[in-house]
């Protein structure tokens, strides 16, 4: 094997080795602190905000499933609508279930801005004969 190929193989494997080592370290550290992913999941599943966040994040996933037309303007607006809808819904969850006044205020600002953007995008689609 040439020296260049060997160097490339080592360079390609380094991030993998790091990820494996860091993952093991993170699990050890979390376990030592009494935190386990199962405990976090059980706590999260019990919170009423979790179901609301899960529904909102489904909108964000929809943005990735938007079919493309080849028209950059139309594709952008179509992709941004579910993204903004998901953001609005997530912000509403934070506003309605959150305890921190700063987070709730930020969520309210996001709702206002994202809704204004949504209204503009829907209007743009209507103006250009698209839906």
Query: Whose structure tokens read 């819904």?
Result: 89
- The mean-pLDDT minimum among 22-31, 38-47, 111-120 falls in 22-31
Residues 60-99 have pLDDT tens digits of 776 667 788 999 999 999 888 888 988 898 899 999 999 9
Weakest mean pLDDT among 3-17, 50-64, 73-87, 116-130: 3-17
Q: Cα(121)–Cα(119) distance, rounded to whole angstroms? A: 6
């Amino acid at each position: 094997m040439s020296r260049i190929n060997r160097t490339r193989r080592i360079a390609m494997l380094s991030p993998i080795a790091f990820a494996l080592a860091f993952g093991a370290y993170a699990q050890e550290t979390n376990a030592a602190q009494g935190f386990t992913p199962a405990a976090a999941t059980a706590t999260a599943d019990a919170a009423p905000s979790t179901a609301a966040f899960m529904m909102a994040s489904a909108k964000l996933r929809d943005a990735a499933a938007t079919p493309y037309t080849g028209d950059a303007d139309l594709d952008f607006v179509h992709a941004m609508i579910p993204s903004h809808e998901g953001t609005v819904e997530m912000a509403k969850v934070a506003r309605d279930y959150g305890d921190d006044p700063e987070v709730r205020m930020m969520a309210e600002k996001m709702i206002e801005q994202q809704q204004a953007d949504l209204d503009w995008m829907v209007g743009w689609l209507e103006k250009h004969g698209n839906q």
